[in-house]
Amino acid sequence: MTDTTTGRNKTTIARPPADVFATVADITRMGEWSPETVACRWLGDTRGVGARFEGDNLATLGPITLKEWTTVSEVTAYEEGAVFEFVTEDTTTWRFEFMPDGDGTRVVESFAHPRTRGLQRIMYNALGSRRKAMVAGMGKTLGRLKAALEA
């Protein structure tokens, strides 16, 4: 058994990797794509590796808000047109990889975080199917990104 929970999702977008990368790396737009992150803002003027940003998040069940929270993340990989990665609250790593695919770009979004323990594990994994929900959320994020960039 591993001590890390991971997940991934992917899509192909009919745009060049540089365009898709630039859109994702503009973290202020993440609220347009993500079903959980509703807004992001840079902390300071730095961009690229070492840049930090805040993200406002919202978990809902239908019309009911279950939880609202703000996180601080740091960019840990930034290779224009290839990789954008950040770590949230020193625990969850989010990674976007961009690869040429015919006339477009294959985008792979993934996450990794330490496996939860105790009551939190029961709540997140057993009752809430958190990993499954995160993978589905990535699918929604990539679908919305694709729709916007191909419009």
| Per-residue pLDDT band at 86 (split at 50, 70, 90) | very high
**CATH code for the domain in which residue 54 is found:** 3.30.530.20
Q: Where are the beta strands (DSSP E) in 31-143?
A: 37-43, 52-61, 64-79, 83-88, 92-101, 104-114
Is pTM beyond 0.85? Reply is: yes
Structure confidence at residue 48 (pLDDT): 96
**Distances 126 to 36, 117, 131 between C-alpha atoms, Å:** 20, 11, 10
Structure confidence at residue 1 (pLDDT): 45
**What percentage of the chain has pLDDT greater than the value 70?**
90
Structure confidence at residue 114 (pLDDT): 83
Residue-range definition of the domain harbouring residue 146: 4-150
| Per-residue pLDDT band at 124 (split at 50, 70, 90) | low
- The structural domain count of the chain equals 1
